[in-house]
Copies of this chain bind each other. A is one copy, B any other.
Amino acid sequence: MAQKVKLSTIAETLGVSTATVSLALRDSPLVAATTRDRIKDQARALGYIYNRRAASLRTSRSGIIGVVVHDIMNPFYGEILKAIESELDRSQHTFILSNHYDSVEKQRNFLETMLQLGGDGIIISPAIGTPPEDIGLAEDNGMPLVLVARQIEGIILPAYRGDDSYGISLATNHLISLGHKVIAMIGGTDQTSTGRDRYQGYVNALQKAGIAVDPELRIPGPRTREGGFEAAVHFLSLPQQPTAAVCWNDLVAIGLMNGILRAGLVPGVDISVTGYDDLEEAAIATPALTTVWNGQSEVGRMAARALLDRLAGSHEPDGLHLIKPEMRIRQSTGPMKPRK
């Protein structure tokens, strides 16, 4: 590889100053058009590579935006990330992605790396148990933050997510309207704000319909296909014999349906199942999954937009922005049929 080409190389070969080259490459109107073109041609001819580290050291803007979520392999986050990516792409930002797998330490490492790299901002779906100090560290160093999908108690920041309590009550009400009375809630945890909100939405809907809430019908567990699949045995052996299940999300619902099928029962006929999120695969599951649209693409798009606006100087009011979920009725739910 030849000698490294830098601004000064272009400046010297052309007999102009580095200041002029710098301005010309960024299309400054301060540089005459003919000078600018000569400079740009030369930059191309020499194979010049702009050194963003040097520029960023000088300007203290890096063009880097960090995004950290629980697990990018979960399509729920995947759909959010896709929306963030397309929004950041068009504004020339580089984004650095990371999973925290709900490890507060891994998340802290990420936040520190972003500070060290001089990131312009962070979009975060915080790990369970995130201490407010970790967020404080980022804020004290002037790092703008936007929350997606989850919140942190006692922290005021712009936050974008679905209205979980309302969304789950939609699913629960749908099952109640089909005549179901023994309705289990499968998967997830009550350790997050999301978890508490979802459980509350389920409880509210039951109570409003005059159905007693039985804590044994709450089966927490991993928020994955495997989690739903493995919950099936427990679910099918509950003494109260539920005829329907409200699942934490589509993955759990798809896993549960597979488990139900393996046991020789037919989801949507023998047992009604609802999902949550309306992932792309919900519509092509068998049976097609009745679920609740949770606005992933909206969440991602709006969060990215909010961060970019803030970087551009506008100061939106902080606070929670709730996306209104919507019911998507398909074939995995049907009229109540008593279990034999």
Count how many chain A residues have C-beta atoms less than 8 Å from C-beta atoms of the other chain.
50
A94 in contact with B96 (CB, 8 Å): yes
Query: In the complex, how many angstroms separate the beta carbon of A42 from the nearest chain B beta carbon?
Result: 18
Query: In the complex, how many angstroms separate the beta carbon of A67 from the nearest chain B beta carbon?
Result: 9
Chain B CB within 8 A of A200 CB: no
Q: Tell me whether A53 and B49 are in contact in the complex, defined as CB-CB below 8 angstroms, given that A117-B94, A284-B258 are known contacts.
A: no
- Copies of this protein in the assembly total 2
B53 in contact with A226 (CB, 8 Å): no
Q: Return the chain B residue nearest A73 by Cβ.
A: B78
B73 in contact with A226 (CB, 8 Å): no
CB neighbours (8 Å) of A141 from chain B are 1, 49
Chain B CB within 8 A of A82 CB: yes
Q: CB < 8 Å: which of B2, B57, B113, B226 contacts A94?
A: B113
A226 in contact with B280 (CB, 8 Å): yes
Q: CB < 8 Å: which of B57, B94, B140 contacts A47?
A: B140
Q: Tell me whether A85 and B99 are in contact in the complex, defined as CB-CB below 8 angstroms, given that A51-B118, A225-B284, A284-B255 are known contacts.
A: yes
Query: In the complex, how many angstroms separate the beta carbon of A312 from the nearest chain B beta carbon?
Result: 20
Q: CB < 8 Å: which of B50, B73, B255, B284 contacts A116?
A: B50
CA distance A226 to B229 in the complex (A): 22
CA distance A229 to B284 in the complex (A): 7
Chain B CB within 8 A of A52 CB: yes
CA distance A3 to B78 in the complex (A): 38
